[in-house]
Every structure is written in structure tokens, then in C-alpha cells.
Amino acid sequence: MSELSIIVGQRIRRYRMLRGLSQESLARLCDRHPTYIGQLERGEKSPTLDSINRVCQALQISLSQLFEKLSDEPTVRTDYIALQCYDMMCSKSNDEQKEMMNLILAIEHYKDSKD
């Protein structure tokens, strides 16, 4: 399993869950087997472009949205926590993103006030 396959699989899972779809439902929508969807989400399969395109269409996201902020440059890959945070935020609704941002700002404000 490559790190890229794992990250893309996690993104597929987050978008699927955000849409309220089961693996079986997503599989039906993109004409793939549910086992294949599970393998994609776990990063066990390296999908073809056609499969990724079908998954994106079923999830109602663009290819660029699925792959944004991904890079094989060492500076990005070593910053894995920031990428995980970015992925998590992108999978949330706007209201949830605002709440999370307010929480982060409150923590920063508290931290700054202690200095």
C-alpha cells in the first residue's frame, strides 16, 4: 500500500460518509463491487482513472477536489498531520468548519494569553 493510496482512500471514505452513503450504495452508483470500494478506502487498491472518475461522479465531487493539496514532494509528505487536518476540515459542512475554526482560534487565544 502506498501512502498516496491510503490518503486517497481516506478521502473517498470521508466524502462517502459526508454524503450519507454506505459502501454498497456508492458501489451501485459507480458500477463497482462493494468489496472494491472497501479496498479503495483502505488504500489496498490502486484504481484506474476511469474508476476514480466514476467514484468522484457518484460522490458529486470533482477529480481536482479529491486530489487537491496532494503532492509527492517531501515537504508535503512529512507534514502529514496538517494534511490530515485539511482532509478532515474539507469533509465537514460549512457550519462545522466554522465551529472547528472557532475552537482552534479559542485555543490559540488561550495559549497566547498564558504567555
C-alpha cell at 39: 479496498
pLDDT tens, per residue, the chain with 115 residues? 788 888 899 899 989 988 899 999 999 999 999 999 999 999 999 899 999 999 999 999 999 889 887 765 444 444 567 767 777 787 778 898 899 999 999 998 888 888 6
CATH of the domain at 97: 1.10.260.40
**Quick one: three-class SS letters along 45-59?**
CCCCHHHHHHHHHHH
Helix (H, G, I), strand (E, B) or coil at 72: coil
Report the percent of the chain where pLDDT is more than 70.
Answer: 89
Interatomic CA distance for residues 56 and 69, integer angstroms: 16
The domain of 70 spans 3-114
Count of domains observed in the chain: 1
